[in-house]
Amino acid sequence: MKDDEIDEVLQRASGIPHEVEPALLKRVANSIHPSLRPVRPLPPTRVLTAGLILICAAVALVGAARTGFYGIEKLSLWERVLIFSTLSILAWMAGKELVAEFIPGSRHRFSPHALLTFASVALLGVFALLFRNYRSDHFISAGIACLLSGLLVAIPAAFLSWLLLRRGFAVNPVSAGLVGGALAGISGLTMLELQCVNFQALHVLVWHTAVVPVSAAAGALVGWALRRRS
Amino acid sequence: MARYQAGDFAAATALIECVGPQLHRFFLAQFVSRADADDLLQETWLRIHRVRHTYRPGEPVLPWFYAIARRVRVDHYRKASRTTAREHSLAEMSQVAAREDGQAADDLETLLAPLSESQREVIRMMKVAGMSLEEVARATSCSVGAVKQRVHRAYESLRARASAPGPKKGPGGGQS
């Protein structure tokens, strides 16, 4: 069979008008009539994305302010520029994608998994480029403390992001949870880069970077649980 | 759609009459009975009505409707799989769908039967509902590249099946 023949069958099928009982359509119209009131459409994507980035930045700053901005003070100018510009770009990408997840029929530039993979690889690349001290003192204890601090900051970031987008409708709660978790994780990681003074390469590569995928996994789990409840 | 958001009942009715049959056909094509398709259509409109503020004027409207319809369909499958242990084979359900539509629809279902669900979905949206690649990508929450790939693989699979020796399915002929 050639493409033309396949197209012909498909076109023939699309040509037939599909009949639906008028009574059914009338029933549908009548069911929505009592609650038909004017509604305010959601703000544009760029406004919501900017709101999400502001939330994440504010939460990271407040989180770091509690213990002090010792990390950023010890970083060189080049390190600051590279780390925080990477985090900003990733936050913008995740924010835009999260808004798309909450608006049905939106354009998606990446799949949630591709976004998470890209973010993790980009962060690993930047950290591997900047930190060359491969000693690992208190690898597990210091690492778990940083991972937990990052995740603790991610929780309010995720909650406030949800508040901003609560009028939206996630057609796929698991994907929305994953992207939301990744964005919140970026907020947690930003806090760590502001306050953590442990610049050992393995510590940063493993425990700091892990905040993003772990937070994304937690978000996806929440989305899955919500979908099961609905 | 903007008038519907503004609370105009006539606009809402016109939308239901215009888009309702397309959505009904979308559900019927997923191997559900006509009664189920009727229920899904009602459920979809209730959902559409609840989240009508998420549509933004100026954006393509069909992907918005289809994205919500897909969610309703997924929820339906999930609930059905939880509440009933009975499973129909694809072939049995295909016969149900084919019986309820005309000859051309029979051809269509026979033709698309060997494809995966995601491939069938994009082919139906593009070729039957007349949506563009960009609109299908928006409705299915995929990138345009992913939709192109699915269409390409679907056509490849149909061509391979048609040229394979032995019993095969062709348009209008069913098993030949």
Residue pLDDT, tens place only, B8-51:
889 999 999 988 888 888 888 776 778 888 889 999 999 999 99
- Taking the C-alpha atoms of residue A178 and residue A218, their distance in angstroms, rounded to an integer, is 7
* pLDDT score of B1: 86
- Closest-CA distance, A1 to chain B, in angstroms, reads 5
- When scoring B53, B133, B157 by the number of chain A Cβ atoms within 10 A, the one with the most, hence best to mutate, is B53
- Closest-CA distance, B86 to chain A, in angstroms, reads 21
B82: tokens are 């939880």
- Give me the amino acid identity at A128: A
CB contacts, 8 Å: A20 with chain B = 20-21, 24, 41
Alpha helices in B29-143 (DSSP H): 34-50, 61-83, 90-100, 103-112, 117-123, 133-139
Four-CA torsion A154, A156, A159, A163, nearest 10 degrees? -130
A172 touches chain B (CB under 8 A): yes
A104 touches chain B (CB under 8 A): yes
A61: tokens are 């700053």
Contact B18, A29 (CB under 8 A): no
Mean pLDDT of chain A, nearest integer: 92
Q: How far is CA B74 from the centre of its chain?
A: 12
A30 touches chain B (CB under 8 A): no
Residue pLDDT, tens place only, A150-190:
999 999 999 999 999 999 999 999 999 999 999 999 999 99
- Taking the C-alpha atoms of residue A111 and residue A117, their distance in angstroms, rounded to an integer, is 10
Q: How far apart are the first and last CA of chain B?
A: 46
Contacts of B176 (CB under 8 A, 6+ apart): B167, B168, B169, B170
- Closest-CA distance, A24 to chain B, in angstroms, reads 7
pLDDT > 90 fraction of chain A, expressed in percent and rounded:
76
- Give me the amino acid identity at A210: A
- Taking the C-alpha atoms of residue B122 and residue B124, their distance in angstroms, rounded to an integer, is 5
A200: tokens are 């050992």
Contact B140, B148 (CB under 8 A): no
- Give the pLDDT of chain B (176 residues) as one tens digit per residue: 888 998 888 999 999 998 888 888 888 877 677 888 888 999 999 999 999 999 988 889 999 999 999 999 888 887 777 666 454 444 444 444 444 445 555 667 777 778 888 888 888 888 878 888 999 999 988 888 899 999 899 888 888 876 766 554 444 433 33
A35-51 mean pLDDT: 92
Choose among A9, A18, A110: nearest Cβ to B24: A18
Q: What is the 3-state composition of chain B as percent helix, strand, coil, each rounded to the nearest 5?
A: 70, 0, 25
* pLDDT score of B97: 46
ipTM over 0.85: no
